[in-house]
Structure 1
Amino acid sequence: SSRLEARQHCGSSRGQPLGEDIQALLQCALPVDANSSRGLPVSPGATMAKIVFKAADDEAWFKWGKNAMLVC
């Protein structure tokens, strides 16, 4: 299984200084499964807007020329 492979890989990189094999250390600490990733590739600060909870509020902010994000 992939967990067993990750454990074997982590065990083989022990004893090395952090700077020599940072990628392997990060992979051991944060195993990534390509099939389990979901979501949008954005970061905090990618957009700036007021949060609104009603469609009418969103439309009003738009008419005023302001950014708003409707949260359902």
Structure 2
Amino acid sequence: MGISEQVRPIIDSKGLNPSELAHLIGCSPQYMHNLLNGSRRWNETTLNKICDALDLEFRVLPKIKERN
């Protein structure tokens, strides 16, 4: 699951829309929509700003391997 797929439900649960989140983190609404629809790539700075705005923590974990 990608970052956008994980972030979008959290944005909704906070009662925000992408344009409002863009305003909170200081980027354009178009940039935020492009991140969420996958036409722009996430970068560390934007990810950190979104985590701060949504009260999230970003962690890198090893993949869980499926057993066959």
Scaled by the length of structure 2, the TM-score of the pair is: 0.29
Structure with bigger helix share is 2
- Structure number, greater radius of gyration: 1
Structure with bigger strand share is 1
Scaled by the length of structure 1, the TM-score of the pair is: 0.28
